Structure formats: C-alpha cells, structure tokens
Chains A and B, each alone.
Chain A
Amino acid sequence: MISWLRNPWGRPRFLVASTWLYMAWALVPVAIAIAFSFNNGRSRSVWQGFSTRWWWGDPNLSVFGNPTYTHALAHSLELALLDMAIAAPLGVTLALGLTRWRGPGSRAANLLMLFPLVTPELVMAVSLLLLFTQLAIVPFALVELGTAAQVIGQVTVSLPYVVVIVRSRLVSIGPEYEEAARDLGATSAQVLRTVLLPLLLPAILASTLVVFALSMDNFVVTQYLSADQSTMTIPMYLYGNTRGAGTPALNALASIMVFLTLLAVSLAFVTYRLALRWTKQPAASALRELTIPEA
C-alpha cells in the first residue's frame, strides 16, 4: 500500500488485492456451503468425503426424499408463482399510471409505492400481521394467515421493484413512438397494444423474473404471515434449523434455492440486456438497474 501511495498512477496493487480478497470473502463461504451439501458425513462443518446421499437416494434424509424439504420447496415455488402472477400486472399498470399521470396525487402515490422499499421488512411484516389478526372487517377478515396472507405480503414488498424497473424503461423509450402511432391514427387501446406493451415486454419479463427471485428469498414477511408447518418455505426452514443439528441436506436445500434464484436473475439480465441493446445502453446499467432500483 505504501508503494501505491507513492505512485498511485502505476498498477494499484493494493486495490487489486483488496478487490479480489473482497470477492473471495463474499463468495467463497457460499461455495463452501454448497460443497458441504455433498459431504459424506452428518457434519456441516467438517469434510468427511464426497457423496450425493443428502441430495437423493436416502428415502428419509435426502433433500428430495424427505417430505418436509420437498414441501418447503413446493410452497416456496407456489408463493413465487402467485407473487409473479399478481405483482407483475399490478406493477406494470402502476408504472404506466405513475409515469403518465401528472398531479399532486401522483406524487403521493409514488411516495407510498416507495414506502415498502425504504422501511425494514420487519415494519411491514408486523403491520400486516396485526392487520390480518386484529382488524375484523371485510376484506381483511377474509384473509387468514398462511398462503393468502403470505402472497399479499410478498406482493406488497415486490411491487416497488416491478414499478421501478418498468418505469425506468418507459422513461428511456420516450414518448416519440407513441406520438407517431397517434399521428397515424391509432386509438389509445391500439397504442397500448401495438406500441407500448411490445416495447416494454423485456422490462416486464425481467421484472417478473426479479419478482420470482425476491419471492424465493423472502423471509421476514413470509415468516410473520405464515400459519403452521404447511406454510413453511425454504428460507423459513433454514432460519429455524441453521443453528440446530441439521444434516448437510440443509445445505442442499439452500443450494436449490440459490440455484433457482440465480437462474431467474440471469434470465432477467439476459432479457433486459436485449432491450438495452436496442437503445444502445451498456450492459453494466442492466446489472445495476435490476439490482438496486434507483428511486
């Protein structure tokens, strides 16, 4: 570091080293945890040889053999699909509405939309729990803790992501295509169907995949709004068993979740990148826009 301070325009060795050390620190533990799902013994911290016994084969202990694990996986996927089905259309229409509707109401709605993004999830989770358990009026009384409440909670926290991704795309498309279509005599419905939606399609697909990833990883809201064992998801199971004497099947379960999430996000990135290529934006902005929505 001293030599770099003396000549910082040279090769910044200190910076190179700290960057790669950071990357190792950030990623190697996860790689080790995935590797331990292939451990031959019961330990999650001492390597005892390679085996796939915690993945399949063992009818009771392996991740695909034990009904607790497969049920948690199935429920995680169920919630993710429902979340996508509701949050995507709701978020796309809200993005269109918030971008085009001018007025004081619009600004208030925008702040409201960002609220779940800037408050810790615990606040949302506690509020929704109290809403569904204490307020005995329709429609809230109709929602019971469990799948319905979990979906509502997940949609509420993933909605801002859809809005922000679709809106930033909408802004970069600009009004010209729409105006051209209007000048050529298209009705509002035709503009929407033949111009706006096709141009927005990559952003819509990408944000839907991001919702899938958010839902798979969601823990706080899902935990607070769960009912019993039947509404347990993978993150909830991990939270309950990480400190216990769980077997490497726990690592296998976590690995499945990580794999599904990364798959969804990679697909989102590829889709979004195609869209950016049409408007000649660099790939890096796709990474950034899909990861931290700029409010």
Chain B
Amino acid sequence: MYPRWYWRAFALPGVLWLCLFVVVPTYALVAVATGRIDELFQPLPAWLPGTWNIGFLNKAFSGALPGGEYWATIRNTLVYVVAALALCWVIGYPVAYYIARHAGRTKSLLLVLLVLPFWVSYLMRMLAWVGLLSPDGYANQALQAVGIAHPPDWLAGQPLSVIAALAYGYIPFFILPLCAGLDRIDRSLLDAARDLGAAPVGVFLHVTLPLSRPSMLAGSALVALPMFGDFYTNDLISGASRTSMLGNQVNLYLLGGPQKNLGASLVIVLMAILLVAMAYYVYATARESTRAT
C-alpha cells in the first residue's frame, strides 16, 4: 500500500548522516593508523588502500603484548576493568535482587533512586569523590577518627581508587538491566522449585541465578565496553602515569603530541580488544539461548 521507496526515503537522511559521520571517520582512523608522517611530524594518512604502511599498527600491536611498550597500560586496563566488573557484580546483584523481588511498596521509589545516578553527569560524580577523597576530605577524617593516623593520599596514583571509581561510575548500567531481568523471571518457576522441595538457597542457585545469567551478561557488557575506552576517571582520580590505562595513552598521543598515527593505531588495538569481548558476549548469549530451549 505504500510505494517501495516510501519508508526508505524516511531512512535516507539518517543513513546518510551515519555514513558521513560513522563510516567515513572509521575509514579516516584506519587511514591515519596505516599512514606515514611528514617532516613536521604531522600524519600523512594513506587514503588509498595499497599505499598502506603497517609500521605503526605493527608497533602498537607488538607493544600491546606482554613485555611490550604498552603492556603496562594494557595490563592496567584489563585488571581494572575486570576488578571493577567484579565489584559491580558483588555490589549490584543484591541490590537488583532486592528491588526486583522484595521491594514491595518502596519499589517505585527505589527505581527512581536507581535511575538517578545515570542522569547525574559522570564528571559531577567524580568531582564529588575528589572532594571526599582529598587529603583533608571526609574519607580521611573518618579514617583518622578510627585511629589511622596517616591515611594514604587516595588521589595520588592509587589503583584501588581507580577501580572503585570505575565501579562507582558504571554500576548503574549493570544494576538496571539485571533488575529488569530478575523482574521478568516467572514467579511460578520459583513456586514450583519450592513445592518440589528445593531449599531457598537451592531455588536461588538452580532457578534464579541461571535465569538471570542473560541479563547479567548484558549488564556486564554495558559496563565493560565503555570502561575499556575510559581515560577521564583515571585522569581525575589518579593522574599518575603508573595507573595509566589504554585510553590515557590514546589521549596522550592524540591531544598531546605529534604521534597521531600511533594514537590511531592504539585505538585500533582498543577496537580489537572490544571485538574479542563482544565476540565472547555474542557466543555466551547464543549458548544461553540454546540452553533455554
């Protein structure tokens, strides 16, 4: 009833925009990463395939391996992301579980409170912690009050602070999908398990936990993917090069100095890491859905 071109015409401006500002920029990234540099250390992108120079990519990828120049930042990135993700699970699961199952009349209120941090600017949330963790801030005052005379400077290159800040920053992205997933679980399955004699812990371990695995995966992906490219949390909470993550190295090359080719190559390393993470996510979700049927 509509002509064939009708809805395509609607999609056209948006698709055109995405081609211009998603596809072409990605190509520009590859062209710079595979390009050369001129005598003023400015990048000369290789716009034509075939003129590619894989020197920078080679340096970036070999530097990312253990022992390489960028291994420390890669290792920091992996360790911090995994540790922050684990924190998100430990802190987030009970919260999501309570709100989905037991909150009762307070559920709407708790949902609003849960969503609130999403829409409080990330930088404001980091600013808040910089105030609390500064040497004369409330965190150290509390520590001194319980007898620790010389608490550390939390903002001077402490990996623990960075991990906690990452978890703090991204945890809402984990709890909300998990809460929605737990909410969707059919209650009659729980009743059935109970009627068949499962102990409460058994019901949780054999019914709730397996059924919540897809939403845990989704939440973990939502948390982990942006964390891999994070550089501002580290800049604000640590500022020291010893906690530097991959994003910080990219930031340094792109905005700081004449090493844009290498910076672009490191972004491609980042994309490769994300691709592996995404591939695992897709594989795990597929495995979950075959198990469910």
Contacts and interface: CB of A to CB of B under 8 A. Distances in A.
A91 interface: yes
Contacts of B12: 97
A14 B94 contact: yes
| Max count, chain B CB within 10 A of own CB: residue among A134, A254, A258 | A134
A118 B110 contact: no
A31 B96 CA distance: 23
Contact of A134 (B45, B111, B200): B45
B173 A127 contact: no
B113 A242 contact: no
B121 A116 contact: no
B260 A130 contact: yes
Contacts of B113: 23, 26-27
Nearest to A248: B131
B214 interface: no
Interface stretch (B49-57, B144-152, B231-239, B283-291): B231-239
Nearest to A113: B18
A44 B130 CA distance: 9
A16 B95 CA distance: 8
A116 B25 CA distance: 12
B22 A96 contact: no
B112 to A, nearest CB: 7
B127 interface: yes
A120 B225 contact: yes
Chain A contact surface mostly: helix
Contact of A98 (B11, B21, B177, B264): B11
A243 B127 CA distance: 8
A140 B24 contact: yes
Contacts of B110: 19, 23
Contacts of A14: 94
A235 B124 CA distance: 8
A224 interface: yes
A213 B230 CA distance: 20
A124 to B, nearest CB: 7
B232 A128 contact: no
B278 interface: yes
Contact of B138 (A45, A100, A113): A45
Nearest to A213: B119
Nearest to B12: A97
A109 interface: yes
Contact of A29 (B47, B129, B235, B250): B129
A84 interface: no
A182 B180 CA distance: 37
A287 B260 contact: no
B48 interface: no
Interface string A138-162: 0110000000000011011001000
A211 to B, nearest CB: 13
Residue among A15, A29, A126 with the highest chain B CB neighbour number at 10 A: A126
B166 interface: no
Nearest to B261: A130
A156 B127 contact: no
B247 interface: yes
21 contacts: A16-B98, A19-B110, A26-B117, A44-B134, A97-B9, A119-B225, A120-B226, A120-B230, A122-B267, A123-B271, A127-B28, A130-B43, A130-B264, A135-B24, A235-B123, A242-B126, A258-B124, A262-B120, A284-B111, A288-B180, A291-B176
Interface of B: 1-2, 6-15, 17-26, 28-29, 31-32, 43, 45, 47, 91-92, 94-95, 97-99, 102-103, 107-108, 110-132, 134, 136-138, 155, 168, 171-173, 176-177, 180, 200-201, 204, 222, 225-232, 235-236, 239, 247, 250-251, 254-255, 260, 263-264, 267, 270-271, 274, 278
Interface of A: 5, 7-9, 12, 14-16, 18-19, 22-23, 25-27, 29-30, 32-33, 36, 43-46, 90-91, 93-94, 96-101, 105-106, 109, 112-113, 115-116, 118-124, 126-131, 134-135, 139-140, 152-153, 155-156, 159, 163, 182, 188, 213, 216-217, 219-220, 224, 235, 238-239, 242-243, 250-251, 254-255, 257-258, 261-262, 265, 283-284, 287-288, 291-292
Given A46-B137, A238-B123, 14 more contacts: A8-B204, A25-B168, A30-B125, A32-B132, A93-B14, A96-B10, A98-B11, A127-B26, A139-B20, A188-B6, A243-B236, A254-B123, A265-B119, A284-B108
Among all A-B residue pairs, the 10 with the closest Cβ atoms: A120-B229, A97-B11, A94-B14, A97-B10, A127-B25, A33-B128, A122-B229, A100-B7, A15-B98, A29-B128
